[in-house]
Structure 1
Amino acid sequence: MWADFSKLIKFRLTFLVVFSASISFLIGSKVNGVINWTNWGLLILGGFLVTSAANGFNEIIEKDLDKLMKRTSDRPLPSGKMTNGQALVISLFMGIGGTYVLGSLNLTTGYLSVFSIFLYAFVYTPAKRKSPIAVFIGAIPGALPPLIGYVAAHEKIDYIALILFGIQFVWQFPHFWAIAWVLDDDYKLAGFRLLPTGKRDATSAIIVFLSTLILIPVSLLPTYYGFGGLYIGGISLFCSFGFFYYAFNLLIKQDIKSAQKLMYASFLYLPVVQLGLLFDFVGK
């Protein structure tokens, strides 16, 4: 039962989203000068429920497409282990419950959570078969967790919140495209078009490379604006140039192995940079 539920909510993805939000909550708490651990726990609970709901709605919508792809055919809906009705009820309860919990922290956090569910499940999901622009759409709800986490603690969207959002927003492009390059054959079975040109080619590789180039100055914004010190500046530069190096390899070789290395680098990049920022946060 847990295995099916875990696949419905995409547990590993949900865990990473909640982790990102929880770190940003602690950063927002440092701005306030005090950490409310009860609210931190509520954020984790609400974030888990809201993210799980969005993933559940995504799988309901893509049930027939998931049957076509090897990596998703064993999910509970396409495999017949769970019905659409069951998944819908579970997802609705999680969405309503999670929104209520996050909204109890402050209204802005609640509004952002509803917006995140809607954009991910009902805009990004159908767009995946229509155009590579879907990656841009998906990057918005994908970058909302640090914004939601920060606002849950600080209650307003300031320049720190926007920078946290911006780093995760830009990071998502090489992250998504690396995954899309590795899984392109499987994605094509369902008609998904996620690479910049819709296929593995030099133009797609160039665009992936440029996205890692853009990430370098964006990752230095905390240090530039003074709420991050030289420590996080050094970590961000090291991680960004590492990311850049793997993207350059993909540009040169244009093969799946290089894309896999870039994908693994993307998994490490975000938590390392976010934790570095938390521990090096200068405050006010």
Structure 2
Amino acid sequence: MRWSDFSKLIKLRLTFLVVFSASISYLIGSKVNGVIIWYDWFMLIVGGFLVTSAANCFNEIIEKDLDRLMKRTKDRPIPSGHMTTGQALVLGLGMGISGTYILGSLNILTGLLSVFSILLYAFAYTPLKQKSPIAVFVGAIPGALPPLIGYVAAYGKIDDIALILFGIQFVWQFPHFWAIAWVLDDDYKLAGFRLLPTGKRDRGSAVMTFILTLILLPVSLLPTLYGYGGYFVGGVSLVCSLIFLYQAFNLMRTLQVEAARKLMFGSFFYLPVVQLMFLFDFLGK
């Protein structure tokens, strides 16, 4: 098996973003807990990488026939014939079991959340993508669990900060997903995926994207409003949210693929910047 095939099987860039989000939240939870255990932080990264890779692997096994229909996915290892379904299943199970064991060794709640994340992503979100745009809402839940898992791995329980971290990533995923769905709508239609709010590139989908981006603005300010972050993270979050909102407004105004592409790239920068600023501000308190 080539590295290129393995990286496509586990969706390496997506997996990296997930692990990054969890690792940042772990450091925030460690600050609350009063001590950073670097060995546990490393184990979180390893376990998180394995669990996320397993979820993506199961996703590709389930969608192997659909991946053959889309230009951007037909070169993935299973539809391209570089890997059998059985090989992918063995890899997925191995990574899922080992990753869950590692995360569960940090604390039971972290392990349970990781199992819930795999099940919801692979066996609820994945089949729903062909049935209804509600798939985006369902997918946003496991998509927002990484910061919750990272925080719980350090602190051991769910509190207000954990819910804020979850909330920011949860709301962020709607404009993020819909921007991607807008850009790739022609390709998605080949597989019958229905991810845009109205099912197509129209004013309704653009308005919904704008509304959720607008909701993200006050949600991103929750760390400051609740006193967990200072004016620094609040200011950075406000600026990032306004830029993000402007990009969503341009999509609503023009309904152009290029505007959706700019919103998509804006979403890639938005989340890590806001999370890092929360971390730096929180550590400096």
Identity among equivalent pairs (%): 77
SS in 2 for 1:82: coil
CA contact (8 A) 1:226 1:282 kept: no
Structure 2 partner of 1:217: 218
CA distance in 1, matches of 2:134, 2:124: 11
Task: Tell me which amino acid in the other structure corresponds to 2:157.
Answer: K
Structure 1 unaligned blocks of 5 or more: none
CA contact (8 A) 2:26 2:151 kept: yes
Task: Tell me which amino acid in the other structure corresponds to 1:47.
Answer: G
Structure 1 partner of 2:82: 81
Structure 2 partner of 1:280: 281
SS in 2 for 1:129: coil
Structure 2 partner of 1:15: 16
CA distance in 2, matches of 1:157, 1:249: 37
CA distance in 2, matches of 1:32, 1:100: 23
CA contact (8 A) 1:227 1:282 kept: no
Structure 2 partner of 1:230: 231
Task: Tell me which amino acid in the other structure corresponds to 1:180.
Answer: A
Structure 2 partner of 1:116: 117
| 1:37-76 correspondence to structure 2 within 5 Å | 37-76=38-77
Alpha carbons of 1:282 and 1:94: their partners in 2 closer, same or farther (altered >3 Å)?
Answer: closer
CA distance in 2, matches of 1:202, 1:224: 33
Q: CA deviation at 1:153?
A: 0.1
Q: CA deviation at 1:222?
A: 0.2
SS in 2 for 1:280: helix
CA distance in 1, matches of 2:230, 2:40: 27
| 1:146-157 correspondence to structure 2 within 5 Å | 146-157=147-158
| 1:179-218 correspondence to structure 2 within 5 Å | 179-218=180-219
CA contact (8 A) 2:28 2:283 kept: no
Deviation sequence 1:153-210 (CA, Å, 0-9, x none): 0000001000000000000000000000000000000000000000000000000000
Q: CA deviation at 1:283?
A: 8.0
CA distance in 2, matches of 1:27, 1:282: 7
SS in 2 for 1:226: coil
CA distance in 1, matches of 2:171, 2:18: 16
CA distance in 2, matches of 1:277, 1:162: 14
SS in 2 for 1:281: helix
Structure 1 partner of 2:105: 104
Structure 1 partner of 2:169: 168
Task: Tell me which amino acid in the other structure corresponds to 1:169.
Answer: F
Deviation sequence 1:223-254 (CA, Å, 0-9, x none): 01111110000000000000000000000000
CA distance in 1, matches of 2:213, 2:123: 28
Task: Tell me which amino acid in the other structure corresponds to 2:216.
Answer: L
CA distance in 1, matches of 2:95, 2:69: 27
CA distance in 2, matches of 1:282, 1:266: 25
SS in 1 for 2:48: helix
What is the Cα-based RMSD across aligned positions, in Å?
0.8
Q: CA deviation at 1:32?
A: 1.1
Alpha carbons of 1:134 and 1:254: their partners in 2 closer, same or farther (altered >3 Å)?
Answer: same
CA distance in 1, matches of 2:256, 2:267: 17
CA distance in 2, matches of 1:250, 1:230: 30
Task: Tell me which amino acid in the other structure corresponds to 1:79.
Answer: S
Task: Tell me which amino acid in the other structure corresponds to 2:92.
Answer: S
Q: Please list every run of at least 4 consecutive aligned residues from structure 1 whose deviation after the TM superposition is greater than 2 angstroms.
A: none
Task: Tell me which amino acid in the other structure corresponds to 1:176.
Answer: F
CA distance in 1, matches of 2:68, 2:58: 16
TM-score w.r.t. the length of structure 1 is 0.99
Structure 1 partner of 2:136: 135
Alpha carbons of 1:163 and 1:283: their partners in 2 closer, same or farther (altered >3 Å)?
Answer: farther
Structure 1 partner of 2:256: 255
Q: CA deviation at 1:33?
A: 1.4
How many residues of Structure 1 are paired with residues of Structure 2 in the alignment? Answer: 284
CA distance in 2, matches of 1:228, 1:138: 28
Q: CA deviation at 1:282?
A: 6.0
Structure 2 partner of 1:158: 159
Task: Tell me which amino acid in the other structure corresponds to 1:124.
Answer: Y
Structure 2 unaligned blocks of 5 or more: none
Task: Tell me which amino acid in the other structure corresponds to 1:251.
Answer: M
Task: Tell me which amino acid in the other structure corresponds to 2:18.
Answer: V
Structure 2 partner of 1:144: 145
CA distance in 1, matches of 2:123, 2:40: 29
